[in-house]
Chain A
Amino acid sequence: MTDPTPSAAPISDRGFLARKGEGSTILSWITSTDHKRIGLLYLYAILSFFLVGIVLGLLLRLELIAPGRTIVDAQTYNALFTLHGVIMIFLFIIPGIPAAFGNLMLPLLLGARDVAFPRLNLFSWYLYMTGALLALTALFSGGGPPDTGWTFYVPFSTRTTTNVSLAVTAVFILGFSSILTGLNFVTTVHRLRARGMGWGRLPLFVWSLYATAWVQILATPILAITLILILAERLLGTGLFDPAQGGDPIMFQHLFWIYSHPAVYIMVLPGMGVVSEIIPVFSRKPVFGYWAIALSSIAIAAAGSLVWGHHMFTSGMSDMAILVFSFLTFVVAIPSAIKVFNWVATLYKGSIALDPPMLFALTFVLLFSIGGLSGLILGAAATDIHVHDTHFVVGHFHYTMFGGTGFAFFAALHYWLPKIYGRMYNKRVATWAWGIMFVGFNLLYFFMQVVGIRGMPRRYYDYLPEFAVLNQIATVGSWILAFGVFLMFGNLLRGVLSGEPVGANPWGGATLEWTVSSPPPEENFSVEPVVTHGPYDFREAGLL
C-alpha cells in the first residue's frame, strides 16, 4: 500500500473530530456529511439504545428468577420482551456494525474520501433517528406498549389494542434508512476504490459489507410492504390476513420471514467481516483462503435469502416445502463453516497476540459456532417440532446474535476506536471485562438452551417449578454479563477521553485506515493512495 511508516500524529491534531472553521458544535455534527462523523452519530445512538435494551433484558431475566409473578404481570412481561426485541433487533443489531462501523471505516478501507452519496448518508441517519424516536414514543403513547413480540404476527398484531401501528410505522422508517445505506455502500464499493484496489484486494470487512448491502436492498422492501399491510389491516380492515374475509394469516409469516431471515444475515455478516479483519492482524499472517471467505459472504447472502420457511415448520406448510426449506437451511451452514475453518487455518502457526480485539474475535468464532450448530437442530424439521417456541430458540438466537454479532461489535469497538479517537483504552481492564462477559454470557444462554430443551416455552412470564434452578442460574448469568458490559463501556469511555495516544497504527494492520493519522483527518487521505499489495500482506507492507 502507500508509505506504511506510522506518522505518530500528535493527539493535538484531532483530525475530523474538530474540523477547521466549524469546530465541534452539535450543529456542526448533525449537519455534517463526513462519513466518520455520521458513523459516530450512529454509534452514539446505537449504543444508547443498546443500553436501554440491556436494561429491558435484565428485567425479563429478573421476572424469570422465580415461578409465578415476580416483578411484573403477564401483560407487562409481553410488552417488555416485545420492546427488548424491537430495540435490540431494529435499533442495535441491524444497524450496529454496518451503519456505525461501515460508515466509519468503509471509505478509509477503500482509500476514498467519503461514501458515494454523503448527503444521502446523512439523510439515512435522520431516518434512523426518526424511526428510533417513533419506536420509543410507541412505548409511552396510545394504548400502551406493543405486546406482539418483535415479529408482529397476525392475527394478534392486527387486533391488539396496544400501540402496534406506531411501532410498525417506526420500523417501516428504519427500513428505509437501511435500504439507503445499502444503496450507498454498494455504489461506494463499485465506484470509489483507490487505484490498484481490485476486487481481490478488498479488505474482507468490505466484502461482508458489500454482501450485506445487497441483502438490505433486496429484502428490506419486503418488510416495508409487510408492515404497510399490517397498517392497512389495522386501519382499513382490508382482511388480507383475516381468514373470515378470504385472507391468510400464514401469508404474513411468509412475508415477514422473507425479510427477517435474510435480516439475520444482515446482522451477522458484517460481524464476520470484522473478525476476518482482526484475526490476520493479530496472527501476523495473511488470511488463509481470502477468496473462500470473500465469496462465502456472497454465498451466505444468497442462500440465506431462501431459507425463511424454516421459521414456519409448525405453522402449516406442505411436507415438501418443509423438506426443501430444511435442506436449504443446512446449505447455509456450508459457507458459514468455510469461514470458521479459514479463520482457524489463519491462526495455525500464526504469531498470535491475545489483545482485547483478538479475544473478542475468537469468542465470536466459538459462540457463533455454538449458535450455528444449535441452529441446525432447529433447521432439521423433526427436532424443530420438539424445541419450537421454547427457550432453546431464544438461547440459539442470542448465541448467534449476541455471542456472534454482539461480540464482533465489541471486537470492532476495541479494534477501531483507538483509530477514531487516537487514544487507547486500558487493555488489562478490557481483558477482565471480556472474561467476565464470557462467563456471564455462557451461564445465561447455555442454561437458557438447557431449560428450553427440557420444555420451557418462550414468551411466558411464568413456568413450572421444576425449571426454577436453571432459570436462576441464567438470571445470575445475566447480572455477571451486564456487569462485564458496563465495565467494558466504562473502560472504553475512559480510554476515548483520556487514554494514551496511539499513533497511526497501534495494531500493525496492513489495510489503508492505518496509514493515516489517528484520528483520521477530514477527507481521509491528503493524496489518493495507490494500493500495491493485498490487505493482509504484512511482509509487503513492511510490517513484518
Chain B
Amino acid sequence: MPLLSFFAARFLARSYRRLAPLALLGIFALAPPLGAEGLPRHPLSEVLSPPEEIGLDERLGAHIPLDLNFVDERGETVVLRNLVTGPTIIVPVYYGCPNVCSFLQGGLAQALPGIRLEPGVDYRVLSVSFDETETPATAAKARSIYYATLGKDFPEDAWLFLTGDLPAIEALTSAAGYRFARRGNDFLHPVAVFIVDGDGQIVRYLQGTSFLPMELTLALVEASEGRMGNTVRKLVQFCFSYDPEGKRYVFNLLRVSATVVIATAAAFFLFLFLTGRRRRE
C-alpha cells in the first residue's frame, strides 16, 4: 500500500509540474483539492532540493526558553515553564497542514499508548503550531482527532495543542534549530519532534512520521535522567524522485550480466564433466 501511494504521489507530482504553466491562466485555484491526498503542494523543485531557509540543525544540549506564553486549545494562556516540568515531547506542526503534520501527530498518537510510561506523570506532549494565524479553535479540532486515536485512558492534560504569536514561536523554534518557511497558506518545514528534559534542555530529536514505542521510551528515559542521545534514525522526509525508466535499464544490465555469469559457469561445468578426470603419466 505505501508503495502504491508512493507511485500515485510521484505520478501526480509529475503531472503537476506539467500543469504548472497553466497556473498562469488561473487554473491554479483548482489545484489544491487535487493535493488533498498526500500530494506535495509545493513545487517539485523545492521538494527535491529544499531552500536553504528550511532545515533542522540539531542543538542537542541547548535550552529552549521557558518563559514563553502560548495559548492552549481551551483558549487559556499558558507559560511554557509550567508545562515543561519533566520529559516533554515537543511537536512543531501547523494544524492546517494538509500533509505530513497529520501523519506525524497520528504516528505519535499510535505509538504513545504502547509505551510503558505514565502520560501526564512521566512525560507530556506539546504540539506547538508555528502558524501564528491559527487559533485555539483549530487546535481544539486537532486535539479531538488525535485523542480519538489515543483512546479514553489517555489523561486530559497530557497532550496540549498550543498556538502562539510569532515572537514566541520563533524563540522556540530557533532555539531548537528548527527552520521553516511560509509559502502562502502553507509551510515548508522539517518533519521532526524533539524531547526536552524538565529544565528545557534538548536531549534528543526524532525524525520522520512514525515512531517505535522503544525510541520514544528511550528518549524519555534519557530526558528523565538528563542524558543525551544521538539521533539514531534520520529519515529524509521528502518525496522520492523515482525513475522507472532508469530502473528498467539497471535491471536489464543485471539480467544480462547474470545470464553471462550463469552461461559461463554452465559451460565450465560441461567442459569439466565431459572431459573427465586427468590421468597421471
Q: Which residues of B contact A460 (CB under 8 A)?
A: 232
Interface contacts beyond A243-B240, A465-B221: sample of 14 additional A-B pairs, CB < 8 Å, sorted by A? A186-B268, A186-B269, A187-B272, A191-B277, A217-B265, A217-B268, A218-B262, A240-B250, A243-B242, A244-B241, A245-B241, A246-B246, A248-B247, A251-B250
A214 to B265, CA, bound (A): 8
Q: Is A190 an interface residue, CB under 8 A from the partner?
A: yes
Residues B261 and A191 in contact, CB atoms below 8 Å apart:
no
Residues A243 and B241 in contact, CB atoms below 8 Å apart:
yes
Closest B-chain residue to A459, C-beta based? Answer: B232
Q: Which residues of A contact B243 (CB under 8 A)?
A: 246-247
Closest 9 CB pairs of A and B: A246-B243, A190-B272, A246-B246, A243-B240, A191-B278, A191-B277, A74-B230, A244-B241, A193-B277
Q: Which of B48, B254, B276 has the most CB of A within 10 A?
A: B254
Q: Using A190-B277, A218-B262 as known contacts, say yes or no to A68 and B214 having CB atoms under 8 A apart.
A: no
B6 to chain A, nearest CB (A): 9
Q: Which residues of A contact B257 (CB under 8 A)?
A: 225
Q: Using A218-B261, A243-B240, A243-B242 as known contacts, say yes or no to A464 and B272 having CB atoms under 8 A apart.
A: no
Q: Which residues of A contact B230 (CB under 8 A)?
A: 74
Residues B278 and A192 in contact, CB atoms below 8 Å apart:
yes
A463 to B243, CA, bound (A): 39
Q: Is A455 an interface residue, CB under 8 A from the partner?
A: yes
* Secondary structure class of chain B's binding surface, majority of residues: helix
Q: Which residues of A contact B (CB under 8 A)?
A: 68, 74, 113, 186-187, 190-193, 214, 217-218, 221-222, 225, 240, 243-248, 251, 255, 316, 318, 455, 457, 460, 462-465, 528
* Contact among B49, B229, B254, B265 for A218, CB-based, below 8 A: B265
Question: B231-256 CB contact bits vs A (8 Å, 1 = yes)?
Answer: 01000000011110011001000100
Closest B-chain residue to A68, C-beta based? Answer: B227
Q: Which residues of B contact A (CB under 8 A)?
A: 2-3, 48-49, 214, 217-218, 221, 227, 229-230, 232, 240-243, 246-247, 250, 254, 257-258, 261-262, 265, 268-269, 272-273, 276-278, 280
Residues A244 and B48 in contact, CB atoms below 8 Å apart:
yes
Residues A192 and B277 in contact, CB atoms below 8 Å apart:
yes
Residues B273 and A316 in contact, CB atoms below 8 Å apart:
no
A214 to B268, CA, bound (A): 11
A524 to B250, CA, bound (A): 50
Q: Which residues of B contact A528 (CB under 8 A)?
A: 280
B42 to chain A, nearest CB (A): 16
* Contact among A190, A247, A318 for B246, CB-based, below 8 A: A247
Q: Which residues of B contact A246 (CB under 8 A)?
A: 241-243, 246-247
Q: Which residues of A contact B280 (CB under 8 A)?
A: 113, 528
B247 to chain A, nearest CB (A): 6
Number of A-B contacts (CB under 8 A): 63
Q: Which residues of A contact B214 (CB under 8 A)?
A: 455, 457, 464
B169 to chain A, nearest CB (A): 31
Closest B-chain residue to A186, C-beta based? Answer: B272
Residues B218 and A464 in contact, CB atoms below 8 Å apart:
yes
Q: Which residues of A contact B229 (CB under 8 A)?
A: 462
Closest A-chain residue to B257, C-beta based? Answer: A225
B265 to chain A, nearest CB (A): 6
Q: Which residues of A contact B273 (CB under 8 A)?
A: 190
Q: Can you give 6 contacting A-B residue pairs, CB < 8 Å?
A: A190-B272, A191-B277, A245-B241, A248-B242, A251-B247, A464-B221
Q: Which residues of A contact B262 (CB under 8 A)?
A: 218
Closest B-chain residue to A254, C-beta based? Answer: B254
A86 to chain B, nearest CB (A): 21
Closest A-chain residue to B6, C-beta based? Answer: A316
A506 to chain B, nearest CB (A): 29
B1 to chain A, nearest CB (A): 10
Closest A-chain residue to B232, C-beta based? Answer: A460
A186 to B243, CA, bound (A): 42
B123 to chain A, nearest CB (A): 15
A68 to B228, CA, bound (A): 10
A251 to B244, CA, bound (A): 13
A92 to B221, CA, bound (A): 39
A462 to B222, CA, bound (A): 10
Residues B3 and A318 in contact, CB atoms below 8 Å apart:
yes
Residues B241 and A221 in contact, CB atoms below 8 Å apart:
no
Closest B-chain residue to A229, C-beta based? Answer: B250
A17 to B18, CA, bound (A): 76
A245 to B250, CA, bound (A): 13
A222 to B262, CA, bound (A): 12
Closest B-chain residue to A75, C-beta based? Answer: B230
Q: Which residues of B contact A255 (CB under 8 A)?
A: 254
B17 to chain A, nearest CB (A): 15
Q: Which residues of A contact B3 (CB under 8 A)?
A: 316, 318
A321 to chain B, nearest CB (A): 11
Q: Which residues of A contact B218 (CB under 8 A)?
A: 462-464
A457 to B217, CA, bound (A): 13
A190 to B274, CA, bound (A): 10
Q: Which residues of B contact A214 (CB under 8 A)?
A: 265
A250 to chain B, nearest CB (A): 10
A186 to B264, CA, bound (A): 14
Closest B-chain residue to A221, C-beta based? Answer: B261
